[in-house]
A and B are shown apart, each in its own frame.
Chain A
Amino acid sequence: EAQVTQNPRYLITVTGKKLTVTCSQNMNHEYMSWYRQDPGLGLRQIYYSMNVEVTDKGDVPEGYKVSRKEKRNFPLILESPSPNQTSLYFCASRSHRGLYEQYFGPGTRLTVT
Chain B
Amino acid sequence: QKEVEQDPGPLSVPEGAIVSLNCTYSNSAFQYFMWYRQYSRKGPELLMYTYSSGNKEDGRFTAQVDKSSKYISLFIRDSQPSDSATYLCAMSGDTDKLIFGTGTRLQVFP
Q: Which residue of B lies closest to A38 (CB)?
A: B102
Say how far A76's CB is from chain B's closest CB, in angstroms: 15
Q: A100, B100: Cβ atoms under 8 Å?
A: no
B41 surroundings in chain A (CB, below 8 A): 106-107
B110 within 8 A of A: no
A100 and B34 in contact, given A40-B102, A43-B88, A43-B100 (Cβ under 8 angstroms): yes
Chain A-chain B contacts (Cβ-Cβ < 8 Å), number: 46
Q: Which residues of A contact B (CB under 8 A)?
A: 4, 31, 40-45, 50, 58, 90, 92, 99-107
B71 surroundings in chain A (CB, below 8 A): none
From A50, A103, A104, name the one whose CB has the most chain B CB atoms within 10 angstroms. Answer: A104
Q: Which residue of A lies closest to B45 (CB)?
A: A104
For the complex with contacts A42-B102, A99-B98, A101-B49, 14 further pairs of A-B residues with Cβ separation under 8 Å are A42-B6, A43-B100, A50-B96, A90-B43, A90-B44, A92-B43, A100-B46, A100-B49, A102-B46, A103-B45, A105-B43, A106-B42, A106-B43, A107-B41
A100 surroundings in chain B (CB, below 8 A): 32, 34, 46, 49
A99 surroundings in chain B (CB, below 8 A): 32, 92, 96, 98
In the bound complex, how far is the Cα of B97 from the Cα of A27, in angstroms? 20
In the bound complex, how far is the Cα of B98 from the Cα of A103, in angstroms? 13
